[in-house]
A and B are shown apart, each in its own frame.
Chain A
């Protein structure tokens, strides 16, 4: 079952902040975040692990709430280059080690 991402789309002005959420109906062991520009390969952003610390890179960070089975991606002081579709991929245990991706959140940053 796909995790649910919200919002589906968001439009920002350069310098504004955004939060993208990823929720699952299953217990989560890890959450992966990727960004994809149209027609290109998804690019890895970060991984959140159950019991792990909040991750961050430059002005993009993420948290993992195990009780709520939810992860949130925080984009601070957005730049034009942040535009794209953000996907979360979740791993809920088992020996298959496969990710289930959400439908994505389209982020548009305007000047």
Chain B
């Protein structure tokens, strides 16, 4: 079955450490997105990519970095510059430039500080 796989499900970060969250999709979608979810805040866009080797900052990109070297993969790195990384992170994908098509979400990664 096609879908989006996020790993790991739970992740712990030490002070000063960078961590990378994995997102893989086999839906053949061009567009991929990373969202951060905090209690009561909804989904806030971190980065998004409409095509391979191209990505744009979302609303809360500071302290995060991404790469898009392959169509099916869009990893997110939470850097040490992100001072409050504890949150639920969701990856999504969709057909490119499609305002009339849904975004498909992974099951999320919950990141906490040790």
A residues within 8 Å of B by Cβ? 2, 29-30, 32, 39-44, 47, 49, 87, 89, 91, 95-104
How far is B37's CA from A104's CA once the two chains are assembled, in angstroms?
Answer: 11
A97-B94 Cα distance, complex, nearest whole Å: 10
Question: Nearest CB to that of A102 among chain B residues?
Answer: B42
**B48 CB–A CB distance under 8 Å:** yes
Name A's interface SS.
Answer: loop
Q: Are A40's CB and B99's CB within 8 A?
A: no
B residues whose Cβ falls under 8 Å from a Cβ of A: 31, 33, 35, 40-45, 48, 50, 56, 58-59, 88, 90, 96-108, 110
Q: Which residues in A have their C-beta under 8 angstroms from that of B44?
A: 101
Residues B105 and A49 in contact, CB atoms below 8 Å apart? no
* Partner of A44 from B48, B58, B100, B103 at Cβ < 8 Å: B103
Asked if residues B103 and A32 are in contact (CB atoms below 8 Å), the reply is yes
Are B98 and A97 closer than 8 Å at their CB atoms? yes
- Could you say which residues of chain B place their CB within 8 Å of the CB of A91? 99
When distances are taken between beta carbons in the complex, the residues of chain B under 8 Å from A49 are: 99-100
16 contacts between A and B (CB under 8 A): A30-B99, A32-B102, A39-B108, A42-B43, A44-B104, A87-B43, A89-B103, A97-B96, A97-B97, A97-B98, A99-B103, A100-B59, A101-B44, A103-B41, A103-B42, A104-B40
